[in-house]
Every structure is written in C-alpha cells, then in structure tokens.
Amino acid sequence: MDAKKIKKWTSNIVTSILFIVLIVMIFVVISSKASGGEPQAFGYQLKTVLSGSMEPGIKTGSIIAVKPGGDMTRFKKGDVITFKSEDNVIVTHRIAKVIKTGGQVSYQTKGDNNKTADLNPVLSNNVIAEYSGFTIPYLGYFADFTKSKIGGSLLLLLPGLVLLAYASISIWKTVSQLENKGNKVAEIESTDKSV
C-alpha cells in the first residue's frame, strides 16, 4: 500500500470512530434521562459502584451491568444481586444465605470485602436486578460526572466538536490539494505556450 491509501484508510477509520462515539454518547445521555438517571442497553441497566464492599471483584468507581426483572425469588447462595436497602440505597452484594419462611423469600447478603454479613435480610420484593458479571473498572467516576448538567452537555458537545474540527481539517486539506493541482496545471499550460 502506498502512503496515500494508508492516509485515506486512517482518515476513514478515525471519522467512523468519532461518529460512533458521538452516537453512543447521545444514546447514553438520552437513555439516562429517559430512565431517570440510569442508562440502559439491551435490557441491562448500568450502575455505578460507590463503595469497596465488593472488591477486589468489583472495584470502587466501576460501572456494572445488572439485569432487572424476572422472578426475584429465584436466586441462590453465591448469586450477586442489586437491591434497595431499608435506607433506599442501591446495594450490590452476594447472597450468603437464602431464607424461606412461609411463602416469603429473603436473602442474607454480604459484600465480598466485608468481614460480616449485612445486618438485615433483603426481602425478595426489594431486589431490583441480578449482577451480570460485566464490569468496567473506574468508568463510574466518569458516568457520575456525565449525570451533572455540565457533564451531560460536554458529553454531547465534545465528540461533535471534535468531529466538526476533523471534518474542517479534511476539507481544508482537500481544497489545498485541489489548489496545488490547479497551480501545477496552470504552470504546465504557461510552459507549453512559451515553448
């Protein structure tokens, strides 16, 4: 491959990546606003981990994917669930014990990094979702920033501005190349006339 083809391929790849990033960012912001602050994709919710109770498997500041819905009495010991605590705080912990009393199911939960189990059992009605096993370390800090007004605006504007700047540079280079070709043609024509 010659240098021109490599430059063209690189240019096309960079443009495509910037466009995809812009579309993804728009999707994340819109889905986040539509779902009340929690982005969703393909039936999964993305949650930010705010504590180190599940380390080392789930680090503080990670983004995790959880699957909401279904029968919340189906879980067994060892499953990781996301639930609403009595203080209305969203928590993701591992089930240490399943407690069945009458027709009611509750779970004794514990953070992997905690020495003791959680104080109160979790009623199956308070379970929101099951942890899918998917985590992206430290991206939660960025996600929290994007939930702010400034962060959400920057998330939409920056990829668009970068794409616009890249397109402007590409157009400027193309116009410069056309002008150079025009000047060379004019020089050749004037040389031919003088001969």
Options 11, 16, 35, 51, the catalytic residue: 51
Q: Taking a C-beta distance cutoff of 8 angstroms, is the pair 45, 90 a contact?
A: no
Residue 123's DSSP bridge partners are 106
What one-letter code names the amino acid at 7?
K
Residue 114: both structure tokens together: 């905690």
Please, is 189 exposed, middle or buried when counting C-beta atoms within 10 Å of its C-beta (0-12, 13-18, 19+)?
exposed
Instruction: Give the number of other CB atoms < 10 A from CB of residue 111.
Output: 21
Instruction: Give the number of other CB atoms < 10 A from CB of residue 161.
Output: 12
- Give, as one character, the DSSP assignment of residue 148: S
- Give, as one character, the DSSP assignment of residue 122: E
Please confirm, yes or no, whether 11 is among the known catalytic residues. Answer: no
Residues involved in catalysis: 51
